[in-house]
Structures are given as structure tokens and as C-alpha cells.
């Protein structure tokens, strides 16, 4: 017999449901083992989601299918498979060597990378999704995917590529993530892209089309957006403190930080500076997550949703309270002025942008330097977009290696040419 202890009665088919009360509202559900073994995988997933998910969540039966139909997996649902395909992709692994805010050059190894940011955001998103009874597998797939389109050197690299490709559609990391999972990654011989579900692709497409968007994305996608900004608003001050760009005294100017410090000091007495810093970062995350879940829950009670389709025509549901939104805006304005526009970071940004511009020019003039896997796409995608795909897929380290390799080779060619003329 399978046994599951839960608070409240789980609604299972009457033929397999057996309830008995234990203590105060504690129930035990026994399911004959033969029932579980006889169910098809998609039936098990449907039963599980019917028990755990809210009516307004995205159910696996609403995944929209795949561009290339596949046989259902015996153990994993469609969104689990999408999550795993993203997790095992080359683009995801490269995030470990891509800039979040601080580069490895001159900053050591403590700072967040694009990968660690993604993992922190994913953890936060799953917590929110579980509390709101949303589809955690879809949330995890979308959060793991949300930054895989980022080029080297963070937003500085994105701006450089956008400038270089201005006359050819520009560059946007959210749109590039879609391009990666639909075309550039190769999951199986002869296939292009990861063949993700339509609902997963739609969630990422909503992120790439925020401006002018008419319909609201599914609640799972709204959670990913919230978790993304919540994560970097919490960890960027931590990294800036670690590298001396900010001091704890500087952050005392920020009402949100001061309020978080006060909450920590009420919980712990005589906290040392190093411990205080860590505790405040944790408090910022916990406070925002708790507030967001409470406020979103209130919105869902006051404006009930019958199903997922109702979400598209409604106003955004996933949001913090007005107080926390005000606090959060103040912190973001402070970080923009004191961290993201810090002279040291702006100088580094300018240096790396110039090198990416040079890489684009070199490959325009000498497309033969593109690897075969990219040069073969020039006829279908065009030279400029192919160059953008190649550079966007580079890690910080590889981009610097390529820049140095090209410049060293061209310097040698110039010397040889000069000697021949002599």
C-alpha cells in the first residue's frame, strides 16, 4: 500500500480513496499499489496536478505540444522534460563564465555569475510558485532559460551587440534565448533546437515582447519576472559591499536596507558587520518573497480567476505591496547610480564593449574565421546575425581569448607584410 499523510482530504477517485482521521485534521490516504502501476504516465501527472495546482495554474495538458511530436516520457511530464533539456544545454553551462555585474577580471571569484544568479532566481521562483499552487516545473524551466541568451560581459556586451547589429534587427538577450532553444542548440542528430513545449516558448516570448504587450503572460511567467528582479536587487548590494564599491554606511542611505537592518537587529543582538551583511541579504529576500506571496494571494482572493485563460485578460497579479514596491524602487535607483554607474564599472564596460565591437568588425571582414557550425548558417540567417549568434554564445573568457588571438595573428601578418616590402 502507498501511504500519504497530508493536512486536509485529497480528492482522489472514489474507487481508490480511503480516508481515516488521525488527530486534528490529519488524514491518511491509502492508494492500492496496483492502481499506480496501471496508470499511464500522463494520467499520474494529471492526477498529481489536479491535487496540487490551482485552477489558474498551467497544467501539463495545456502545454501546447511540440513542433516535432514526441512520445510521452514514462517518468517525466512535458515541463520537466523542458527543464532538463535547458539544464543540460551548452548555453546553460556557459552561464558559469558570463558576467552578472562584476567580471572575474580584478574581482576574484566571490561575485555572482550569470549562472549563480539564475540558480538563486530559480530557487526563489519555485518557493513563490509552490505557495501560489502554480506549476513549479514550468516555473523552473522558464527561470533556468531566462538568461541563456546573454552575451559575454553582461548588459555591456548586450548593448555592444545591439549597436553592432542595429541595421540588422539589433540584439536582445530575451529574444536570443528563444533563438537558442528553437534553433541554435542541437538536442539530437539532425534536429535544430530543443523542441520545447509551446507553453514554455510562449512564456519566454512574453519576456522578449514586454513593450506593447496586450495580454498578460501566465502566472508562472509573472513569477519568473518577479523572482529575477528580487534576486538581483538582493545580491547586487552584497557583491558591491564585498568589492568595496559600497560600504554599509553608504547603504544606510537606502530606506529598504535600513528597514531590513532593523528587522535583523530585532532578531539578533550584537551582530558583527560581516554577519550583519549576510543576514540583511537573507532578510531582503525573505521579506520580499513573503510580501509578494501575501499580496498576490490577496489579489487572487479579491479578483478570483476561474482558469488559466482568465489570466490573459486580467491585470498583473504577481506583485508586492505598495510599501515594498516603493522600498524596492528606492533600492534600484540607488544601485543604478552608485553601483552600475560606478566609474570603475563604467571603465570596464567601455573596455569590453570596444573589444566586442572589434570582434564584430573582424568577423565581418573575415567570415572565414567563423566555425563551420556557424558559417553554414550564413546563407539562411545572414552574416550579421550569424556573427551575433557566435559572439553571444561566447563566455567572457573565450571572447577575450578570441580577441587576443585575432589581434596577435593580424599583428604577425602586418610584420610579415612589412618585411616583404622591405
Long-range contacts formed by 68-75: CB under 8 A, 24+ apart: 68/191, 68/195, 70/195, 72/40, 72/41, 72/42, 73/41, 74/41, 75/41
- Contacts of residue 86, Cβ cutoff 8 Å, sequence gap at least 6: 92, 141, 144, 145, 148, 181, 194, 196
- Cα separation, 119 vs 125, in Å, equals 10
- Cα separation, 51 vs 127, in Å, equals 18
Chain Cα centroid distance, residue 322: 25
Written in H, E and C, the secondary structure of 362-378 is HHHHCHHHCCHHHHCCH
Which pTM value belongs to this model? Answer: 0.87
C-alpha distances out from residue 220 to 63, 122, 138, 211, Å: 13, 12, 7, 19
Long-range contacts formed by 194-197: CB under 8 A, 24+ apart: 194/82, 194/85, 194/86, 194/89, 195/66, 195/67, 195/68, 195/70, 195/85, 196/66, 196/82, 196/85, 196/86, 196/141, 197/63, 197/64, 197/65, 197/66, 197/78, 197/79, 197/82
- Cα separation, 316 vs 215, in Å, equals 10
Q: Which residue has the cell 516555473?
A: 139
- Cα separation, 363 vs 361, in Å, equals 5
Instruction: Report how many helices (DSSP H) and strands (DSSP E) the chain contains, helices first.
Output: 20, 3
- Cα separation, 409 vs 175, in Å, equals 34
- Bridge partner residues of 186 (DSSP): 193
Find the largest Cα–Cα distance for the chain.
Answer: 98
The pLDDT value given to residue 206: 92
- Burial of 34 (C-beta count, 10 Å sphere; 0-12/13-18/19+): exposed
Instruction: Please provide residue 279's backbone torsions phi and psi, each rounded to the nearest 5 degrees.
Output: -65, -35
Chain Cα centroid distance, residue 53: 22
Half-sphere exposure of 328 (CA within 13 A, CB side): 22
pLDDT in tens, the chain (422 residues): 233 333 333 344 443 344 344 344 434 444 454 455 556 666 788 888 999 999 999 999 999 999 999 998 888 999 999 999 999 999 999 999 998 888 755 556 778 999 999 999 999 999 999 999 999 999 999 999 999 999 999 999 999 999 999 999 999 999 999 999 999 998 888 889 999 999 999 999 998 887 767 789 999 999 999 999 999 999 999 999 988 899 999 999 999 999 999 999 999 988 887 789 999 999 999 999 999 999 999 999 999 999 999 998 888 899 999 999 999 999 999 999 999 999 999 999 999 999 999 999 999 999 999 999 999 999 999 999 999 999 999 999 999 999 999 988 765 554 444 345 55
SS3 for 19? strand
- Contacts of residue 257, Cβ cutoff 8 Å, sequence gap at least 6: 237, 251, 280, 284, 331
The pLDDT value given to residue 25: 41
- Cα separation, 58 vs 307, in Å, equals 9
Q: Grid coordinates in use for 38?
A: 496501471
- The residue ranges of every structural domain in the chain are 2-38, 60-348
What is the third-level CATH fold of 60-348? Answer: Hypothetical protein af1432 (1.10.3210)
**Using an 8 Å Cβ cutoff, are 230 and 289 in contact?**
yes
Chain Cα centroid distance, residue 411: 40
Q: Grid coordinates in use for 416?
A: 610579415
The pLDDT value given to residue 147: 97
The pLDDT value given to residue 271: 81
Q: ∠ CA(394), CA(354), CA(346), 5° rounding?
A: 100
Amino acid at each position: 500500500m502507498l501511504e500519504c499523510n497530508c493536512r486536509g482530504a485529497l480528492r482522489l477517485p472514489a474507487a481508490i480513496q480511503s480516508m481515516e482521521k488521525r488527530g486534528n485534521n490529519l488524514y491518511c490516504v491509502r492508494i492500492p499499489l496496483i492502481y499506480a502501476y496501471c496508470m499511464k504516465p500522463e494520467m499520474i501527472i494529471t492526477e498529481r496536478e489536479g491535487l496540487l495546482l490551482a485552477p489558474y495554474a498551467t497544467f501539463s495538458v495545456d502545454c501546447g505540444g511540440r513542433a516535432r511530436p514526441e512520445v510521452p516520457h514514462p517518468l517525466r511530464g512535458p515541463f520537466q522534460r523542458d527543464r532538463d533539456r535547458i539544464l543540460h544545454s551548452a548555453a546553460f553551462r556557459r552561464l558559469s563564465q558570463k558576467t552578472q555585474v562584476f567580471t572575474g577580471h580584478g574581482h576574484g571569484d566571490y561575485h555572482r555569475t550569470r549562472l549563480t544568479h539564475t540558480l538563486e532566481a530559480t530557487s526563489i521562483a519555485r518557493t513563490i510558485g509552490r505557495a501560489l499552487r502554480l506549476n513549479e516545473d514550468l516555473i523552473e524551466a522558464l527561470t533556468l532559460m531566462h538568461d541563456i541568451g546573454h552575451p559575454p560581459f553582461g548588459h555591456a556586451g548586450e548593448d555592444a551587440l545591439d549597436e553592432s547589429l542595429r541595421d540588422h534587427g539589433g540584439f536582445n538577450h530575451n529574444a536570443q534565448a528563444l533563438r537558442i532553444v528553437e534553433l541554435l542548440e542541437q538536442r539530437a542528430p539532425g534536429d535544430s533546437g530543443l523542441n520545447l513545449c509551446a507553453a514554455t516558448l510562449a512564456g519566454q516570448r512574453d519576456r522578449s515582447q514586454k513593450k506593447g504587450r496586450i495580454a498578460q503572460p501566465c502566472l508562472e511567467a509573472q513569477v519568473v519576472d518577479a523572482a529575477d528582479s528580487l534576486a538581483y536587487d538582493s545580491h547586487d548590494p552584497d557583491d558591491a559591499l564585498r568589492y568595496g564599491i559600497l560600504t554599509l554606511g553608504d547603504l544606510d542611505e537606502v530606506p529598504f536596507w535600513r528597514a531590513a537592518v532593523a528587522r535583523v537587529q530585532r532578531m539578533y543582538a550584537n551582530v558583527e558587520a560581516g554577519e550583519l551583511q549576510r543576514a540583511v541579504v537573507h532578510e531582503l529576500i525573505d521579506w520580499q518573497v513573503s510580501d509578494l506571496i501575501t499580496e498576490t494571494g490577496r489579489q487572487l482572493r479579491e479578483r478570483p480567476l476561474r482558469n488559466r485563460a482568465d489570466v490573459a485578460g486580467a491585470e498583473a497579479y504577481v506583485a508586492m505591496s505598495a510599501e515594498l514596491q516603493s522600498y524596492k524602487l528606492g533600492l534600484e535607483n540607488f544601485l543604478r547610480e552608485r553601483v552600475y554607474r560606478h566609474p570603475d564599472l563604467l571603465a570596464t564596460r567601455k573596455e569590453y564593449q570596444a573589444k566586442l565591437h572589434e570582434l564584430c568588425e573582424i568577423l565581418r571582414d573575415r567570415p572565414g574565421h567563423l566555425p563551420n557550425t556557424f558559417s553554414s548558417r550564413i546563407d539562411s540567417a545572414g552574416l550579421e546575425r550569424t556573427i551575433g549568434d557566435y559572439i553571444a554564445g561566447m563566455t567572457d573568457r573565450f571572447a577575450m581569448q578570441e580577441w587576443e588571438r585575432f589581434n596577435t595573428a593580424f599583428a604577425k601578418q602586418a610584420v610579415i607584410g612589412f618585411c616583404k616590402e622591405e
